[in-house]
A and B are shown apart, each in its own frame.
Chain A
Amino acid sequence: MKFLKFFYTFCFLLINIEAYAGPLISGISSNEINVDTEFKGAQILLFGAKNDAGDVVITVRGPRKNFIISKKENLLGVWFNGERIKFKNSYGFYSLFSTYNDGEMIQQDLNEYELGKNNIQFEIQDNLSPSKINEFRIQLVELLEQKNLYSVSTKPIDFLDETLFKLIIDFPKNILLGTYIIEVYLINNGSVLSFQSIPVYVNQIGISAKISNFALSQSVLYGLIAVFLAIFVGCLANYLFARFIKK
C-alpha cells in the first residue's frame, strides 16, 4: 500500500516536471533499511522515467567486505579446510537489471562500463595462478548467489508505458550492514546518455545490535563484564541455595 501511494505521487510529480527533466529520472521508496533481530528481508521500489531512446541498466551494489573461500580436503577420512583464498574489498551485494534483449549487446556495453557478472572486481593479495583464482572466484559468486546476496543474471525492468518504469529490489534477511548504491544508466549505442546514483543505508537496530557493537568496540570492558557477571551470578546462586533450600 505504502509503495503504491508513493508510486502514484511520484508519477504525478513526473508528469509535471517532465518538461524540465533530463533524459533519465528515477527515485526510490526508501533510503533506509533497519535490520533488527526480527528482520525478514525488505523490498525497495524503484521507479523512473526515460525521455530518450536507449536501454536502461540498473545495478545495486552493497558494502565492500572481505571474503574467504575455503576448499575442503580429505585426509584419512577427515574433512578439513585445505586451500583458502581471501578476496578483499568485494561487494557484499550485487543485483543487475536491464532492458536489453540482445545478450551479446549487453555484454559489450556492460564490459565497457564495468558492469555485470564478469566485471565484479575482487582484490586478491596472494600470488596465485589465474586458473586457481578463477576456480575460487566462481565459487565465491555462486555461494553469494546461494545466500541471495548476489544475483548476477540480468533481470528485466517493468515498463508501464514508453517512458515510465518500475522495479522491486529484494533485500534478503541475511543482508550485510552498510551503504548500498543503486545506479541507473541510460545507454544508447554504447554510450551513457544519463547516469544517476542513489544511496540506501542498511542499519542495525535493537538491543542485540547494541550488544554486538559494544562487544566489538569496547572489547576489554565487555570481557570484564562477562567475567564479573559470571562471578556475581555464581555467588548469588550459592547464597540463594544455601539460604532458602536446605540440603
Chain B
Amino acid sequence: MQIYLPIAEIPVNIFLILALGLLTGFLAGMFGIGGGFLATPFLIFIGVPSPVAVSTSTNQIIAASISGLLAHFKKGNVDIKMGLFLVIGGVIGSSIGVSIFSILKNAGQIDLVIAITYVLFLGSISLMMLSDSFRNFIDRKFGMDWHHHNEEAVKFQWLLKKIDNLPFKTYFSRSEVYISILVPITLSFGVGILVSLMGVGGGFLMIPAMLYILRMPSSLVVGTSLFQIVFIASNATFLQAVTGNNVDIVLGILMIISSAIGAQVGSRVAYKVDANATRTFLAVLLLLICFKMMFQLFSQPGNIYSLDILK
C-alpha cells in the first residue's frame, strides 16, 4: 500500500516504513542504543531526502526517549538537577546545530556532511563494538584478561584532574558528585549539535561521558540521559520544522508507532539471548550501513550536474 509523504515528497510503501520502524525500535530496545543511528540511514536509503530523514528521526527520538524516561522516573532513577544543567547546554547546542544545519542545507552541502558524520561515527562505533566482542569472546574461550579497563582509567586521569579544578562547582545530591556546572553544560552542548546534525539521541556519547567524566552512579545514568534527550530532541524537532520545513509528520507518526512496539518487544527479548552474539550482530549491521554510506560518497554520480527547484 502506497502512501505519499507530504514533506519528503515521495510515495513510499507503508509496510516498508512500519517494518523499518519495528526493526529500528527492536534493535534500540534490545541494545539500549538510540534507534536514530539505524533509522536515519534506512530512511535515506529508501529515498527520503537526508534533511527530512534526520529531522523526522529526531521527532521519533522524542517518543522513544519519553517512553523510556517514564519507566526510569517511576524507579527514581533520574537526577533532575544534573538533568537540568544538561538541558541548558543541550538546548543551546541543538539550536546552534540546527542553524549550522540550515546553513549547510542552503549551501547544498548537507547531504555530504550527514554522510561523512555517519561514516565516521558508524565506522568507529562498530569497530569499537567488534573489538569489544572479540575481546569478550577470547576472554571466555581462553580465560585471558586484557586489562583494558585499567589502561583507560589511567588515560583519563589528567583530564579528570583538570575538570576538578574548574570553577562554579556545585553538589549534585542525587548523584553524590561535586563538580563544576560547566562540565555537564559543555558535554550536552556538544551532544546537542550532534543530535541536530545526525538525528540521533546521542546516548552513545552521553552515557560514557556521564559515567567517566561526570562520574555519576550507573543506576542514574540512563534515566538522566533520557531526561535531557527529550528536551534536546524536542528543541531540535521544533527548530527543524520552523527553520527548514524538514519534519515529515506522516512519516514521523508511522515511525513512532512502529518503533514503540519494536522497542517493547526488543527490550523483552534482550534478556533471553546471548548479549555478546547480539552485540556482534549489531556491530556488523552498523558497519554495513557505514559501508553503504561510504559507497554513496565515493561512487561516481550519473550526471555531475544536478538540479534543485526551490519552493
Binding site for B on A (CB under 8 A): 37, 65-73, 77-81, 84, 92, 136, 139-140, 142-144, 147, 176, 208-209, 211-212, 215-216, 219-220, 222-227, 229-231, 233-235, 237-238, 241-242, 245, 247
Total interface residues in chain B, CB < 8 Å: 55
B62→A230 contact, CB < 8 A: yes
Across-interface contacts of A143 in B (CB, < 8 A)? 303, 305-307
Interface flag for B63 (CB, 8 Å) = yes
Give bound CA distance, A71 to B303, whole Å.
9
Give bound CA distance, A233 to B66, whole Å.
9
Interface flag for B241 (CB, 8 Å) = yes
The minimal Cβ–Cβ distance linking A186 to chain B, given in whole angstroms, is 33
- One of B127-135, B197-205, B250-258 at the interface: B250-258
A-B pairs with beta carbons under 8 Å apart, 25 shown = A65-B309, A66-B310, A71-B305, A72-B306, A78-B297, A79-B300, A176-B309, A209-B6, A211-B7, A216-B245, A219-B242, A222-B247, A224-B238, A226-B238, A227-B59, A227-B237, A227-B238, A229-B252, A231-B234, A234-B64, A234-B65, A234-B67, A234-B260, A238-B70, A242-B71
Give bound CA distance, A154 to B242, whole Å.
44
B112→A80 contact, CB < 8 A: yes
Contact A230:B252 (CB < 8 A) given known A71-B305, A92-B309, A247-B268: yes
- Give chain B's interface secondary structure class: helix
The minimal Cβ–Cβ distance linking B52 to chain A, given in whole angstroms, is 11
The minimal Cβ–Cβ distance linking A203 to chain B, given in whole angstroms, is 15
Complex partner residue of A211 from B250, B299, B304, B310, CB under 8 angstroms: B250
Interface flag for B171 (CB, 8 Å) = no
The minimal Cβ–Cβ distance linking A138 to chain B, given in whole angstroms, is 9
Interface flag for B311 (CB, 8 Å) = yes
Give bound CA distance, A209 to B9, whole Å.
10
The minimal Cβ–Cβ distance linking A164 to chain B, given in whole angstroms, is 37
Contact A139:B4 (CB < 8 A) given known A215-B241, A230-B60: no
B62→A234 contact, CB < 8 A: yes
Give bound CA distance, A149 to B268, whole Å.
52
Nearest 5 pairs of A and B residues by beta carbon: A223-B241, A37-B4, A234-B66, A234-B63, A237-B260
Closest residue of A by beta carbon distance from B298: A77
B70→A223 contact, CB < 8 A: no
The minimal Cβ–Cβ distance linking B107 to chain A, given in whole angstroms, is 8
Across-interface contacts of B108 in A (CB, < 8 A)? 68, 70, 81, 84
Across-interface contacts of B70 in A (CB, < 8 A)? 234-235, 238
The minimal Cβ–Cβ distance linking A199 to chain B, given in whole angstroms, is 21
A235→B66 contact, CB < 8 A: yes
B241→A226 contact, CB < 8 A: yes
Give bound CA distance, A66 to B308, whole Å.
9
Give bound CA distance, A209 to B116, whole Å.
33
Interface flag for B11 (CB, 8 Å) = yes
Complex partner residue of B241 from A37, A147, A222, A242, CB under 8 angstroms: A222
B310→A37 contact, CB < 8 A: no
Complex partner residue of B256 from A73, A222, A233, CB under 8 angstroms: A233
Q: List B255-295 residues whose CB lies under 8 Å from chain A.
A: 256-257, 260-261, 264, 268
Give bound CA distance, A210 to B187, whole Å.
40
Interface flag for B143 (CB, 8 Å) = no
Which of B4, B237, B252, B298 has the most chain A CB atoms closer than 10 A to its own CB?
B4
The minimal Cβ–Cβ distance linking B281 to chain A, given in whole angstroms, is 23
